[in-house]
Structure 1
Amino acid sequence: MHYSDPAFFALRRKAEKLLPKVALALLGTSAALALLTPSAHSQTVTRPITVTGKAETDSITVPDAGEARRRIENTAGGVDIVPADEVRDGRANTVKDVLDFVPGVFAQPKYGQEDSRLSIRGSGLSRSFHLRGTRILRDGVPITDADGAGDTMEIDPLAVDYTEIYKGANALQYGASLLGGAVNFVSPTGRSQPGFLLRQELGSFDSLRSQFGAGGAQGNFDYYVTPTYSHSSGYRDHTDQDYTRLNGNVGYRFGDGAETRFYLSAANINQKIPNSVTKSQALASPSWTSPQSFSGNTKRNIEAIRAASKTTFLTDSGEATVGFFAASKTLFHPLSSPGFSTVVDNEEVNGGGFARWTGDTQVAGHRNEMTLGLNYFTGNNHAKSFTNVGGARGSLTADADQTSDTLEVYGENAFYVVPDVALIAGLQGTMARRELDDNFLSNGNQSFERGYNSVNPKFGTRWDFAPHMQAFVNYSWSSEPPPFSELGTTATTTALEQQESRTLELGSRGRHGDLAWDAAIYRAWLHNELQTIQPATGQAVQQNVDNTIHQGIELGGDWVFARNLAATDDSTTLRLAYTYSDFFFDGHPTYGNNDIPGAPRHYLRAELRYAHASGWYAGPNVEWVPQGYYVDNANTLKTDPYLLLGAKAGYDFGNGLKLFLDGRNLLDKTFISNASTTTSATASSALFNPGDGRAVFVGAEYRW
């Protein structure tokens, strides 16, 4: 059935009317199973989700990285996990440093830590600022705003124990049904990282980064806290930055079957930002920015504070988690470019709650895993705009309250027809509301309210065909209501439908001896894809694109070879992540089957590392984009291909002290790291942001 068929829309409307009944049915099923099914541990089962009671050294609310990997590999689809050790062995400054070796993920910063593009399987691809289409979570609590938009600036890679990546509808564990899925950054606790930590990084562009950490457990209590500070003058002109962030949590165990954890994070971010430039300017003078960046004092300053709590209860047949969160953020954001100059001044609050039950039971003598959950997010953004007078507020030009509410109900069931084969079915329903109340009436009342409902099923199977080896296939629906950044701020620009997609995915992951792999191939059929187009001059405009295709191949893994080459217990490891992305219009009346702009067709990260038994390691790494990608729907202008060479080296003294040396773009290649998209580009289109030149960073970390 094609998305344009009337029967498709009739079927979807019928499904959406069933959403309230679906919610009640899922909650009722959850209660019935919890009360009536026998204990999973009274039966012979394999790979149970949970057990009643945990060791005193373990956290109940936050599984360690090993347990998290075992859980995430129950997913019949593309998932990954990145332990902190894979990030902290070099400079850990942006989400790109965390996610660069995850196939299917394209993370590219414009400059420094600010405004990184994060796209998974082409999600939010047209967005060159902030992100959408992927839910960002911290300890299972959303960082993205209630309307689905967000950024990664509040995420501190040094304050993360491990990172979970759920691609597409595989993020159903957190209720997300988005093209990009979800990324969950998990904090250390006093049980996972007891003791003290000092870390210092220094390097190119006057970069300085400091971290202190302290954690411990005493009886039922544990705590972890880590403040960090970073400064850089930046590679490009007008990119000075100062980041001060604090992350911490306190946990309390009620015996061996329940635990509550409270989280608090705060950030003070001061980031100067340069304007995008033309391709020729970016490649000829990569450190240059336009004079408007200085005259308009363009920057992005954020003050944010976030509090959350969650409680996990263990039972004989599973675990239940409930939680709440609240966040407040102010944004002062002067912008100035040819034809457009304003000061964005926002005061935003977000909050909500969630509940999730995961059970491992027996049904008709077969193992059965079930997840049921409920999310509610709400937020209000008091959005004001002023004329930009040298980076200060001039006259008021807009004043509105943007209110978002989202209710999600979801469930997933894995039934084991035989011990190694699970049939999986899931269902997610969303009711979302977007309301704008216009407080600036001199240009008319632009208030509006829009509602978006959807029901998204998922079907799949997972086959554990050998120890530590799996194959999977799934077919899923997803939907994405437009955030306010797409809806705009006038009643005449709100005629956007939600983005809808169906995705078929199959793949395999596993480890055999010294070889580990993670492979997936997918094809997604999109309807009403949200596109934000940035004209050569003027403000961004939004549109739906009727039918598009996103398809690709994701290959990741590592191979340990040449053991005992120069000494006992030494090894050489080849690690790589390759992403093939083929995104295109499907019979568009203007663009035909043109490529959708914004991402390279091929993207490769690879590293070769030698590790000596005495504690030192060294090796080169590469980032390779062999073909440039289009920046416009008309497919008239491309970025250039590039190959970047880097290297890392370090030494672990074995007494808590570690040193590292991290060299990037060692051949000082000029390249485009980030580009905006538009309808039709020319040589004079200011869409490009050059990447950093040669840089070297050194660091020391001491734990005791």
Structure 2
Amino acid sequence: MNFVTPTGRDTNTFDARIDGGSYGYAKSQFSAGGARGPYDWFFNGSVQREDGFRDHSNGHLERGSGNFGYRFSPDAETRFYVNANTWRQRLPGELSKTVALNTPRAADPEFVRQDQQRNIDSMRVANKTTLRFGPTTVDLGVFTHQRHVDHPIYRYLDYYVSDYGGFARTTDDRLIGGFRNRLIAGVNLQAGVIDYKEYANPGNAVKGELLTSALQKSQNHSVYAENSLFVLPNVALIAGGQFLHAVRNQEDRILSNGDQSGRRTYDIFNPKVGALWDVDPTWQVFANISRSAEAPTFDANTFNSPVSSNVNAQTATTYEIGTRGRRPDLTWDIALYRAELRNELQCLRSSPFSLCSVVNADRTVHQGVEAGLGVAFIKSAFAQEDRFWFNLAYTYNDFFFDGDARWGNNRLPGVPPHTIRAEVIYKHPNGFYAGPNVEWMPQAFFADNANSLTIDPYALLNFRIGHDAGGPGWSGYLEARNLFDTHYISSTITADIATPASALFNPGYGRTIYGGLRYRM
């Protein structure tokens, strides 16, 4: 993923909005930016409050971010980034299936008694410098991310996280032997320290006896390269690879209950080959085979027991083919994939008031389809160049164990086979839009590896209306969700074997209405 932050050279001079809605939801946000000579700046801030649909789910979030850039010349520039957040959130806890569907606004009484919360303060500071040498571009960067997590749950977790690192990346795009060739290569260096403590939580989010104290140090270093050779002006053959070196090291500072120190290292190579065909400037076809890996975090390798000290890295080989494109009255994005995984990291809850335990599954398969489609099926109905659009986002997930010694070919839990989001919306050239949309989960799925407890299908009807001309000035919207106030389960945590009494489920929001206004200049 490549997240692109707005800068003072490509954003509105001023942008402000306010949103509000059901269950005490309120949010205000503004941004401002500009440029003068070699300088540019951008700032964004937001404040959000919500009483919460469920009991004991109120919270608030404040965010601020900005960046400042300076161009030394057309071929050299640097940019500083800062991001600060403060988040306070009460936790209602998971419920049994019956309670979640019949009294969805309820909270787990034990979560209320212990006043379980998630509170995070964080700040990230970074710099990126770009240098251009003809066909070669070099990006250099450093960052640090500081977090304090105050997290009373079944125990009172209180820890400080300090991440820091840097990167270097070069992109060379030139002709070689008459063929265009683009080479991307780089290195990412990241390290972190967690000053981790757990206390007893006798109730009301009060720190009790200190139970765990550890210093956790991690490293995640990678080098990578990818080369795209254009054998035709619009066809590229791609090959690349990444080498990952990861370290997890824990120093136990309370030895009265045994030394729970430990260290694991992971060294993994991930190759990739593929092809990219730009049929025309708005139509692309792609295919690739790639390997990926995920090293366990300290939540998995706790070193509290031999089992928790031997969690292996998850690896996968993925085969993918797809196409994406855009026409004046048609858009599409379709990908078919199959990922063959080894040592998939599964987070399974074993008791009602504890964190999940991370274990490795043996062999699993994730395969399916991700598809998006937009079609203008009626044009110029009420005005010149207006449109009725049909938009569809469909995901098919066929996830299963592959000959597991315990679970055979059971379905993997927590993933619905089908999810569908569709809308019919009218768009006027002046910026007015209106129309209904549906969210549909048409087939039940399982909450446990044993495939003994299911999450039921559901369908939600929503409607939105608004005006946004896309340029400076005012815009606004009004949106109603779950118009029939359907009771449904929006998400689940997973278990090895579940029963009807297992508290695994989070109910979805009931009928809600949201609205907002925005001004840009």
> What is the match of residue 612 of structure 1?
428
Equivalents in 1 of 2:171, 2:472: separation in Å?
40
Query: 1:31-83: CA deviations, max 9, x gaps?
Result: xxxxxxxxxxxxxxxxxxxxxxxxxxxxxxxxxxxxxxxxxxxxxxxxxxxxx
Q: Which of 455, 458, 483 matches 2:272?
A: 458
CA deviations 1:160-182 (Å, max 9, x no partner) are: xxxxxxxxxxxxxxxxxxxxxx4
The 3-state SS of whatever aligns with 1:403 is strand
User: Which of these residues, 669, 687, 693, is aligned with residue 510 of structure 2?
Assistant: 693
Residue 448 of structure 1 contacts residue 491 of structure 1 at CA under 8 Å; is this kept in 2? no
Is 1:347 aligned to residue 160 of structure 2?
yes
Partner of 1:537: 352
- After the TM superposition, which of the residue ranges 630-639 and 194-203 deviates more from structure 2? 194-203
Kindly provide the amino acid, as one letter, of the partner of residue 100 in structure 2: A
Q: Distance in 2 between matches of 1:478 and 1:602?
A: 25
Can you list the C-alpha shifts for 1:267-316, whole angstroms capped at 9, x where unaligned?
11110111101000000000001211221011111111110110112232
In the alignment, structure 1 segments of 5+ residues that lack a partner are 1-181, 336-340
Cα distance, 1:489 vs. partner? Answer: 4.1
Match of 1:669 in 2: 486
CA–CA distance in 2 between the matches of 1:513 and 1:239?
44
State the SS of the aligned residue for 2:111: helix
Aligned pairs for 1:188-587 (under 5 A) are: 188-335=6-153, 341-389=154-202, 390-492=204-306, 493-537=308-352, 539=354, 540-587=356-403
Q: 3-state DSSP class of the match of 1:394?
A: coil
- Matched residues in 1 for 2:282 and 2:35: separation? 33
Q: TM-score, normalised by structure 2?
A: 0.97
Alpha-carbon distance in structure 2 between the residues aligned to 1:310 and 1:559: 40
Shift of 1:202: 1.1
The size of the alignment, in residue pairs, is 517
Could you tell me whether the CA contact under 8 Å between 1:536 and 1:681 is conserved in 2? no
Shift of 1:406: 1.0
Instruction: State the distance in 1 between where 2:13 and 2:421 align.
Output: 34
What is the aligned counterpart of 1:588 among 404, 411, 414? 404
Say which is worse superposed, 534-543 or 322-331, in terms of deviation: 534-543
Percent identity, please. 42
1:501-535 per-position Cα deviation (integer Å, ceiling 9, x unaligned): 11111111112342111111111111111112112
For 2:208, the aligned partner's letter is G
Residue by residue, what CA displacement relative to the aligned partner does 1:139-168 show, whole Å, maximum 9, x if unpaired? xxxxxxxxxxxxxxxxxxxxxxxxxxxxxx
Cα distance 1:629–1:379, how it changes in 2: closer, same or farther (>3 A)? same
Q: Measure how far apart 1:491 and its partner are.
A: 5.0
For 2:197 and 2:68, how far apart are their aligned partners in 1?
36
Aligned residue among 618, 621, 626 for 2:437:
621
CA distance in 1, matches of 2:398, 2:417: 6
Indicate the structure whose relative CO is greater, using CA pairs within 8 Å and at least 6 residues apart: 1
TM-score (norm 1): 0.72
- What amino acid is aligned across from residue 349 of structure 2 in structure 1? Q
Give the superposition deviation at 1:585: 0.4
**Structure 1 letter corresponding to 2:318:** T
Instruction: Tell me the CA shift for residue 467 of structure 1.
Output: 3.7
Contact 2:282 2:326 (C-alpha < 8 Å) held by counterparts:
yes
- The letter for the 1-side match of 2:332 is W
Structure 1 residues 691 and 185 mapped into 2: Cα distance closer, same or farther (>3 Å)? farther
Q: Deviations over 1:437-457 (max 9, x none)?
A: 001111011101110001111
User: What code does the residue aligned with 1:662 have?
Assistant: E
Within-5 A mapping of 1:19-98: none
Q: Counterpart in 2 of 1:140?
A: none
SS of the residue aligned with 1:592?
coil
Give the partner amino acid of 2:163.
N
Equivalent-residue separation in structure 2 for 1:651 and 1:407 (angstroms): 47
- Deviating beyond 6 angstroms after TM superposition, the runs of 4 or more aligned structure 1 residues are none
Q: For residues 513 and 659 of structure 1, what CA distance do their matches in structure 2 show?
A: 25
What is the distance in 2 between the residues matched to 1:488 and 1:574? 49
Q: 2:177 is matched by which residue type in structure 1?
A: A
- SS at the partner of 1:304? strand
Q: Does the 8 Å contact 2:12/2:520 carry over to 1?
A: no
Shift of residue 536 of structure 1? Answer: 4.1
Listed one character per residue, the Cα deviations across residues 110-147 of structure 1 (whole Å, up to 9, x for unaligned) are xxxxxxxxxxxxxxxxxxxxxxxxxxxxxxxxxxxxxx
Measured after TM superposition, the shift of residue 614 of structure 1 is 2.7
User: Any idea what the Cα deviations from partners look like across 1:201-237, whole Å, max 9, x if unmatched?
Assistant: 1110011101121111111111111111010100000
Mapped partners of 1:201, 1:478: distance in 2: 40
Higher normalized strand content (fraction of residues)? 2
| Deviation of 1:694 (Å) | 0.7
Letter in 1 for 2:317: R
What letter is aligned with 2:324? R
